Structure 1
Amino acid sequence: MKTQMRNLTLLLFLLLLFLLCSSVLSWKKEEFRNCNQTPFCKRARARNPGSCSLSARDIRIENGDLKAKLLPREDHQNPDQVHSKPLILSLSVNGDGILRLKIDEDPNSDPPKKRFEVPDVIVEEFDRKKLWLQRHSTEVDSSSSSKSSVVFLSDGYEAVLRHDPFEVYVREKGGKRVISLNSHGLFDFEQLKVKKQDDNGDDEDWEEKFRGHTDTRPFGSQSISFDVSFYGADFVYGIPEHATSLALKPTRGPGVEESEPYRLFNLDVFEYVHESPFGLYGSIPFMISHGKSRGTSGFFWLNSAEMQIDVLGAGWDAESGISLPSSQSRIDTFWMSEAGVVDAFFFIGPGPKDVARQYTSVTGMPSLPQLFATAYHQCRWNYRDEEDVENVDSKFDEHDIPYDVLWLDIDHTDGKRYFTWDRVLFPHPEEMQRKLSAKGRHMVTIVDPHIKRDDSYFLHKEASQKGYYVKDANGNVYDGWCWPGSSSYPDMLNPEIRSWWAEKFSFENYVGSTPSLYIWNDMNEPSVFNGPEVTMPRDALHHGGVEHREVHNAYGYYFHMATSDGLVKRGDGNDRPFVLSRAVFAGSQRIGAVWTGDNTAEWEHLRVSVPMILSLGLTGMSFSGADVGGFFGNPETELLVRWYQIGAFYPFFRAHAHHDTKRREPWLFGMALKYGVGCAAGVQLMSFTFITQVLVIMQNLERNTELIRDAIRMRYMLLPYFYTLFREANTTGVPVARPLWMEFPSDEATFINDEAFMVGNSLLVQGIYSERAKHVSVYLPGKESWYDLRTGAVYKGGMTHKLEVTEETVPAFQRAGTIIPRKDRFRRSSTQMVNDPYTLVIALNSSQKAEGELYIDDGRSFAFTKGAYIHRRFVFTDGKLMSLNLATSALGGAQFSSECVIERIILLGHSAVPKIALIEPDDKTAEIELGPLFLKSRRGNDFLTIRRPNLPVAGDWTIKIL
């Protein structure tokens, strides 16, 4: 009887575990709300154009801003019958030509509480560039007699506040509009209220139920919605994170199959589907428009509550009666949020890179990662123990495959208690890390926000005693369910708690960690397995009485921030941190890297990874990537190889896999996994046929390893170029991986092309996204030629080429007129390449000119912020290659030097056959000969090569081609 009861208990436990895992380990559409199940979205979508009756009154300049009160028309027409509290509108101008609009409840009207404004996102430098407005002018529209207030924005641009009905827009001084808000009269702002005992209003105002969860609303519904129009635009982009095309498709309008709006709500979505507007792990409410006639503009709404955004098809407002300028094409969008305030930024461009710079001047420039972090990362859930780690590490060396970082997932811990080690499986973590470090390699361990509710666990005990956890709606510590079981979550909105969390990464507190250990923040949306929509309830309470609904999309951002601060503070505080985050919000680019989450080993997920990474880059997150091979499922051989070949060009390059998948380290994957080899062959084991089959399988296995090795080595060769691009992102906001239209903004053929992308301004990469493809069409923009990256073959620009697909690589091309720095010696890791010489690949254009840059620093510390770096510009013109200094004077005495030299220069497209190169100022000569584009090239042409000029990488010099 006892045995039966024990078996029954075990069976019930396994069934419960299966149901729990099923609920979080697969996509279940019904677990997540759609717009009709989301009251604020449903209400907003039902509004008609022109329904906003607010007008701007009491317009004045105050504290350098243009300010006004927004009141319904009947309020100012019948002042004795006021029934609506005013809103306060404020317009401010930034020195970079950025317009900021804020709309909030009037504090003098005694709201029940202050509405939440997202802190710690806008950088201090932005506020210091505020232009203090002195005056505004008033103009009258002759056609409508409506008045407007006009203020200076920048040379050539003005900001306009129309009074009645209120509207805010930016225009060129010639009159053409750029961006507008509320031009269609869809603005709505639900103000906070307190429920009265006799309130017979809609119960939906005060609580909401979804799948057994009740969300209480102590201040009623508090949503905001408005329309934003982009003029002269052909397409809009951005607002990640969605697994869909780069150019955002219309969600409503004539001839449009109505779909869900694009949702911005950070969620743990396992096995997410592609081609969906559904929100994933990150939310960046920043949209970019681009068009041939006007250029580029952008709009950013600093709001961390759930947001839904419609892209409206042409003609959606045909029956609205709203009169807008007819001379300009435009794209209309509709923005809806559950809570917060209006804190919006208008970016006028006019070029794509201008908008990138303007946006990052508000939210911060991308951080410059350590050099090792830009190389290849090897990850799996989970490497089992120290022996497994040592074996994987040694196999990379055995197969001559470089890598820089080995990752450990949750199972390295003691019972999912973060900052601990399973001392049976990992008894000597410091020694394990030191062994990797001796080869110039690093380790990353995972640290998630859910803290196991175990009174013997030091972290939970301390957080409980200090009151550092998020509370539920009743003020008790919130108890949710995640990997450790019953868990609570640190309240990362509180700066004191973030500082406490950062201290946990010191070497004294994180026992077993060393300076070569870095961190991975997963599940920080936050993920709560038994919570509504697999996340925290909206009525949970944070620091200062802030409801979780108000801060949800920024929770992972603050967690990421606290972790990064911890890595900076440990040791001497001079090493740049590396922290990967799954959740992302505006400003995350200042902190570290992100990836696109739990994708699947499918061709379509390989395909959608490119627009996802490009969208993140457009919105500041330059350091992003997708799990190479797909997290879920077992990729077929061809898919895995193709994923490595394109993943080698992702800004963040990491292979990762679920623990239920087959092992797929680069040397394991091949035909042997598909067909299997074992003793089942029985008596045929030693037959000639069987031995032949084994030999063929082994050859295929080695060939697949060779292809993956070549892809990884390509990334290592290009590390100097990638690192230079990361520095460019760090100083300008321009991403590493770019849509084609960012480099070719007038070429309409690039506007919806998201199967190819640029790496910097010099490389174009075209993915292969289908099985057994024989040919691929590649559009090469521009008037100049392109050179095949591996063979040097020349292709004409401004046209589509149908190319034969080879197994060796995805198509990649160097743009004529560019110079790319490389390092061609193969090492175990990037840190062992530091002193290796450089190769310059010069791709000449039709004018026999080219230029490029190289940035070098110590690859590790913050000394570069004080001027300790080398930055060179290489210019080839008139038969001469010159090295010019771009570095500013060293600040605070910081210095950086390098003994590296340039040992090889390859000239592509040179019109003559010179014999000698004269080096100035040393009056040395170097021989010019024909050589391959790659030292171990198996095919392709020979090109002019200057061998061993041994030029100092940091020096001023000139080479004359004679």
Structure 2
Amino acid sequence: MEAVTPGEVSVQDEAVDKSTFKECNQIAFYRRQKLLHPGKSLYQALLDSVTLSDENVKFPIIHEENKVLLQVEICEIEGSIFRLKIDEAAPLRERYKVPDVLIKEPITRRLIISQKEAGILVLSNVNEDYKLQVTANPFQIELQSKAETVLSMNSNGLLYFEHLQPPPSDRKHTEENKDESSCDSSKEKQEDLGLWQEKFGRFLDIKAHGPSSVGVDFTLHGFEHVYGLPQHAEALLLKNTSDGDAYRLYNLDIFGHKIHDKIGIYGSVPLLLAHKPNRSSGIFWLNSSETLVDINTKAVAEHIPSGSAAETTKQRAVPVTDVRWMSESGIIDVFLLTGPTAFDIFKQFAHLTGTQALPPLFSLGYHQCRWNYEDEHDVKAVDAGFDQHDIPYDVIWLDIEHTDGKRYFTWDKKKFRNPRKMQEHLRKRKRKLVVIVDPHIKVDPTYTLYSQAKDKGYFVKDRNGQDFEGICWPGSSCYLDFTNPEVRKWYADQFAFKTYKGSTNILFVWNDMNEPSVFKGAELTMPKDAVHYNNWEHREVHNLYGFYQQMATAEGLIRRSSGKERPFVLTRSFFAGSQKYGAVWTGDNTAEWHYLKISIPMLLTISMAGISFCGADVGGFIGDPEPELLVRWYQAGAYQPFFRGHSNMESKRREPWLFGEKNTQIIREAIRERYVLLPYLYTLFYRAHTAAEPVMRPLWIEFPGKIETFGVDNEYMLGNALLVHPVTEPEAKAVNVLLPGSEEIWYDFRKFKRMEDPGTLKIPVTLENIPVFQRGGTVLPLKTTAGKSTEWMTDISYELHVALDTEACAIGELYLDDGHSFQYLHKKQFLYRKFTFHKNILSSSCTDESGQYHTTCVVARVIVLGFGQQPTLVTASSKDGKEKEVVFTYDTKTSTLMLENLALSVDADWRIHIS
């Protein structure tokens, strides 16, 4: 967040100025790489020097002109993942290889050399379902599956690798050496190309080790739909990039980011997914330096074999997508995810980077935030307001003003005189507190955190070896070096109750400004030539900075509970693997309709990149939403993974009851729907945690053969059972909703009415709600009513919505545990149930027999949607054989059967017979 704050540095005007941030053509390594055009590669493989081991296959490649040797390493990882690494064979110094993102060093499987002849090397995996064909001259690699080429690398000859060189002996690379007028033309050219230093505005980036960028192209054969590469304020489908308009992966604090812009904002996950009917593939580019991605989809002619020699050869147009990755430094370390389904891709990516952490249940409730709630009285008044207006909520948040002069881990002594007492007040009301903890530390020798970190040498250094100082909220600030494991351990210790005075175990954490944001820095971030742990420059680790802070924060919250309690940590900056540590959000959006609209593809893209726990600020952070927009945003947010209302300090107060009774009622109903839905949502998060299935997902993932779904990003699936279509236009009277699948049945989620034949339907809408549909063949577990917060709802009974498919069948699941501890993991304290409707019998059975959790909760009600005729008798029987008759009602208009007063144990086997 950035805005005008009295007495503080203001960057709002500067931040929204487009000239503050680079265009692609102002990035030196991008300009250099773009000088290399598609054509025959100048690299050739020396296949006579192949070495084969149980771990990998290695061989050198050489550049025809500069004669520098590179080492290629290929291996297969369990799960049909292929890893390709290219590094210098003998670098002047070690090049940066991204640590800590992979959950472990992957176990490799032996590749077999199935063919080796002049200029060709074919590697097969043990199952022989995939082959890698290496061509020597020009060097390229093809990934083949059953004679079909899935993708190829360097087929356009764009492999680019700047080997490390000694600095020119005739010049000093210091900040003082800025006099370009004294340079000869060759040096001017070198300066322009940014080989050893690069200027942007008044900022100079000294490249101590010279140019070191890497890049290569991949061709995806038969694919024209590609997705991924968060975070951008862009559509779901990645677009073709013209020169100078590449997708940029570089974490930046862009206040009020532009819509439909490929500049990087806040977070980066270098994962690209490609999909064609019934096949998905993925590319994970493991590089944490600034990265640019060019995309070009085109049609190429493919020969069709003719029936006889006399016939003329026919051709057909086949789509291909070229993807060119370009990074400022590091090595080429790329993982080819073979699928073949999207769910396989998600599992393969999770095998590498981890699954979504299972969140504590309270964090799936509604969060109320503002920059800033003024004091303890304000917090209590807002808390009371939710009860007075009968609106559920779980968490109230405190922004930077709660601290003593922007010193994190402290409290403003006048506004928050007794923070522990305030938290105890919230605890009694079964609610939680989240406070902000940013990475910048106020330069103040009397501030314990600063003085300790300075004494220990824990701050990022400038290029001259001094602690780097930048401007952020407290004024002059130093930045903790979270890339250092010792700093992360020390930082985690700061969350201990005895150290973080006034904190309790209901206090959780929000990491903001961790791109990192530096108000007067180049592009409002840290200089690339700042120096981190082990003498690595910031350019190498930039996109990892927020990832490491969230890692340390999550560890701190776990450690303060002696490993017993799950943390909740929200981060603004993220990277691949951030899902292991908590939640993310889309950053500083604006209270305008098109920001609501773009939030849907933004969240879908983040979700596909492994981070299921994501959301957008409800209402828009900047500005004042009109009441209708606020209502529509609450309705959308209620069906998205992370649900938080947030606003700028310059925005008018916007607690849900401040917009008139009618709007209060609609917002109340949207939030209550969220709370009723929590059993389903929590089950989805368990699936994300254990099976890497996104909670919120694009339609094409559920309908991979339906081309009409491939570009849809104004509606989405929540799990496999609910289709949600937020209303994102003002004064809408109807929306066009695509209900996919000619063989599918869809039901109105609230009215239970079966929809007409699937396809695009014009659905009338009022302000009261947004279209939500349940898919036939699913069972939704819900609570029968909402409570004041999640903790108030522990004993509220369940109801099941059984939506029948064309075969009059349905299936669903319910996951349950204590909602807060790690006992589900360590002591198997969980309950995992399966509900099946088949041949007019609804049964409850155990999905995982190892689960040991017990609950007194019952299933009180079952609603069967699409039941063909009124039954004559309904009975329920338990495992011990006891049987009882069930009271039911049947609605002939909607073909809905309602069974009530069931009192069937959630943790027991039972069956309901309908006849």
Q: Tell me if TM exceeds 0.5.
A: yes
8 Å contact from structure 2 (residues 73, 86) kept in 1: yes
Aligned pair count reads: 876
8 Å contact from structure 1 (residues 251, 313) kept in 2: no
The match for 2:840 is: 879
Structure 2 Cα separation of the partners of residues 37 and 329 of structure 1 = 32
The match for 2:110 is: 132
Structure 1 Cα separation of the partners of residues 452 and 418 of structure 2 = 26
The match for 2:728 is: 769
Q: 1:753 aligns with which of 679, 694, 712?
A: 712
The match for 1:189 is: 161
8 Å contact from structure 2 (residues 865, 896) kept in 1: yes
Aligned amino acid, residue 132 of structure 1: R
Q: 1:708 aligns with which of 655, 664, 667?
A: 667
Structure 2 Cα separation of the partners of residues 948 and 412 of structure 1 = 48
Gaps of 5+ in 1: 1-13, 75-82, 253-257, 319-324, 670-700, 934-939
Structure 1 Cα separation of the partners of residues 128 and 19 of structure 2 = 51
- State the Cα deviation string for residues 752-790 of structure 1 (Å, max 9, x = none): 000000000000001211111111100000122111111
Q: 2:214 aligns with which of 224, 239, 242?
A: 224
Does residue 830 of structure 1 match 2:790?
Answer: yes
8 Å contact from structure 2 (residues 875, 886) kept in 1: no
8 Å contact from structure 2 (residues 876, 886) kept in 1: no
The match for 2:30 is: 41
The match for 2:309 is: none
| Inter-CA distance 342–317: structure 2 relative to 1 (3 Å threshold) | farther
Q: Equivalent residues in 2 for 1:476-487 (5 A)?
A: 476-487=466-477
The match for 2:556 is: 566
Structure 1 Cα separation of the partners of residues 496 and 885 of structure 2 = 52
- State the Cα deviation string for residues 726-774 of structure 1 (Å, max 9, x = none): 0000011111000000000001110000000000000000121111111
Q: Give secondary structure in 1 for the equivalent of 2:50.
A: strand
The match for 1:398 is: 388
Name the structure where helix makes up a greater proportion of residues: 1
Q: 1:958 aligns with which of 906, 911, 914?
A: 911
Structure 2 Cα separation of the partners of residues 952 and 163 of structure 1 = 66
Structure 1 Cα separation of the partners of residues 584 and 890 of structure 2 = 40
Structure 2 Cα separation of the partners of residues 155 and 437 of structure 1 = 58
Does residue 84 of structure 1 match 2:67?
Answer: yes
Q: Give secondary structure in 2 for the equivalent of 1:721.
A: helix
Structure 1 Cα separation of the partners of residues 756 and 529 of structure 2 = 59
The match for 2:42 is: 53
Structure 2 Cα separation of the partners of residues 59 and 50 of structure 1 = 26
1:15 Cα offset (Å): 12
The match for 1:503 is: 493
Aligned amino acid, residue 912 of structure 1: Q
Q: Give secondary structure in 2 for the equivalent of 1:394.
A: helix
Does residue 452 of structure 1 match 2:442?
Answer: yes
The match for 2:900 is: 947
Does residue 269 of structure 1 match 2:229?
Answer: no
Gaps of 5+ in 2: 172-185, 303-314
The match for 2:460 is: 470
The match for 1:732 is: 691
8 Å contact from structure 2 (residues 25, 244) kept in 1: no
1:426 Cα offset (Å): 0.5
1:808 Cα offset (Å): 1.1
1:161 Cα offset (Å): 2.2
Q: Give secondary structure in 2 for the equivalent of 1:102.
A: strand
1:158 Cα offset (Å): 1.8
8 Å contact from structure 2 (residues 568, 582) kept in 1: yes
Q: Give secondary structure in 2 for the equivalent of 1:20.
A: coil
Q: Give secondary structure in 2 for the equivalent of 1:646.
A: helix
The match for 1:598 is: 588
- State the Cα deviation string for residues 679-708 of structure 1 (Å, max 9, x = none): xxxxxxxxxxxxxxxxxxxxxx11100000
Aligned amino acid, residue 410 of structure 1: I
Aligned amino acid, residue 196 of structure 1: P
- State the Cα deviation string for residues 442-495 of structure 1 (Å, max 9, x = none): 000000000000000000000000000000011110000000000001111110
Q: Give secondary structure in 2 for the equivalent of 1:727.
A: helix
Structure 2 Cα separation of the partners of residues 768 and 386 of structure 1 = 36
| Inter-CA distance 335–215: structure 2 relative to 1 (3 Å threshold) | same
The match for 2:183 is: none
TM-score, normalised with respect to structure 2: 0.93
1:139 Cα offset (Å): 4.8
Does residue 164 of structure 1 match 2:137?
Answer: yes
8 Å contact from structure 1 (residues 262, 309) kept in 2: yes
8 Å contact from structure 1 (residues 101, 343) kept in 2: yes
8 Å contact from structure 2 (residues 300, 318) kept in 1: no
| Inter-CA distance 273–327: structure 2 relative to 1 (3 Å threshold) | closer
1:220 Cα offset (Å): 1.0
8 Å contact from structure 2 (residues 8, 475) kept in 1: no
Structure 2 Cα separation of the partners of residues 244 and 154 of structure 1 = 39
The match for 2:820 is: 860
Q: 1:820 aligns with which of 761, 780, 787?
A: 780
1:316 Cα offset (Å): 10
The match for 1:69 is: 60
Q: 2:679 aligns with which of 706, 709, 720?
A: 720
Structure 1 Cα separation of the partners of residues 13 and 129 of structure 2 = 55
Does residue 550 of structure 1 match 2:528?
Answer: no
Structure 2 Cα separation of the partners of residues 326 and 582 of structure 1 = 46
1:796 Cα offset (Å): 3.4
What fraction of aligned residue pairs are identical, expressed as a percent? 44
| Inter-CA distance 65–942: structure 2 relative to 1 (3 Å threshold) | closer
Does residue 907 of structure 1 match 2:860?
Answer: no
Aligned amino acid, residue 168 of structure 1: I
Does residue 898 of structure 1 match 2:855?
Answer: yes
Structure 2 Cα separation of the partners of residues 154 and 731 of structure 1 = 26
Structure 2 Cα separation of the partners of residues 821 and 315 of structure 1 = 46
8 Å contact from structure 2 (residues 113, 121) kept in 1: no
8 Å contact from structure 1 (residues 97, 154) kept in 2: no
Does residue 388 of structure 1 match 2:373?
Answer: no
| Farther-moved stretch of structure 1 (570-579 vs 535-544) | 570-579
Q: Give secondary structure in 2 for the equivalent of 1:192.
A: coil
| Inter-CA distance 388–932: structure 2 relative to 1 (3 Å threshold) | farther
8 Å contact from structure 2 (residues 110, 125) kept in 1: no
Does residue 514 of structure 1 match 2:504?
Answer: yes
Q: 2:363 aligns with which of 360, 370, 373?
A: 373
8 Å contact from structure 2 (residues 283, 334) kept in 1: yes
Q: 1:117 aligns with which of 82, 97, 100?
A: 97
8 Å contact from structure 2 (residues 9, 475) kept in 1: no
The match for 1:149 is: 122
1:154 Cα offset (Å): 4.5
Q: Equivalent residues in 2 for 1:139-538 (5 A)?
A: 139=116, 146-152=119-125, 154-173=127-146, 175-198=147-170, 202-203=190-191, 204-252=194-242, 260-292=245-277, 295-314=279-298, 329-538=319-528
| Inter-CA distance 595–399: structure 2 relative to 1 (3 Å threshold) | same
1:932 Cα offset (Å): 8.8
TM-score, normalised with respect to structure 1: 0.89
Structure 2 Cα separation of the partners of residues 868 and 329 of structure 1 = 50
Q: Give secondary structure in 2 for the equivalent of 1:93.
A: strand
Does residue 99 of structure 1 match 2:82?
Answer: yes
| Inter-CA distance 879–659: structure 2 relative to 1 (3 Å threshold) | same
| Farther-moved stretch of structure 1 (610-619 vs 65-74) | 65-74
Q: Give secondary structure in 2 for the equivalent of 1:205.
A: coil
8 Å contact from structure 2 (residues 589, 617) kept in 1: yes
Structure 1 Cα separation of the partners of residues 93 and 301 of structure 2 = 36
Structure 1 Cα separation of the partners of residues 576 and 253 of structure 2 = 18
Q: 2:604 aligns with which of 608, 614, 617?
A: 614
- State the Cα deviation string for residues 604-662 of structure 1 (Å, max 9, x = none): 00000000000001000100000000000100011000000011011000000000000
Aligned amino acid, residue 725 of structure 1: L
The match for 1:803 is: 763
| Farther-moved stretch of structure 1 (163-172 vs 192-201) | 192-201
- State the Cα deviation string for residues 155-189 of structure 1 (Å, max 9, x = none): 5222232222111231113x111122111111100
